[in-house]
Structure 1
Amino acid sequence: MAPPPNTNDPPEYQGPLTKMGLITNNKRFRGDRPSPGPHRCYLHYLDIFYGLTSDPIEFREPCITFWKCIRSEEGKEPPRWRFKEQLQQTESK
Structure 2
Amino acid sequence: MSKDNQNNSFVFNKHSNTPDAQPHQHRCNGHLEDVLEGLSQWPLDVSKPFGLFLSCLKSQPGQEPARYKSTKDTDERNQ
| Structure-1-length-normalised TM-score | 0.60
1:13-68 Cα distance to aligned partner (Å, 9 max, x none): xx43xx123x45x9xxxxx6332310100010111110000135321111101001
Counterpart for residue 55 of structure 1: 42
Q: Distance in 2 between matches of 1:71 and 1:56?
A: 28
Structure 2 segments unaligned to the other structure (5+ residues) = 10-18
Equivalent position SS for 1:57 = coil
Higher relative contact order (CA 8 A, sep 6+): 2
Counterpart for residue 14 of structure 2: none
Q: Report % sequence identity.
A: 26
Q: Distance in 2 between matches of 1:34 and 1:85?
A: 40
* The one of 30, 42, 52 aligned to 1:43: 30
Ranges of 4+ aligned residues in structure 1 off by more than 4 Å: none
Structure 1 segments unaligned to the other structure (5+ residues) = 1-14, 27-31
| Structure-2-length-normalised TM-score | 0.68
Q: Distance in 2 between matches of 1:61 and 1:73?
A: 20
1:86 partner letter: D
RMSD over equivalenced CA pairs, Å: 2.5
1:54-86 Cα distance to aligned partner (Å, 9 max, x none): 135321111101001111111111111122111
Equivalent position SS for 1:54 = coil
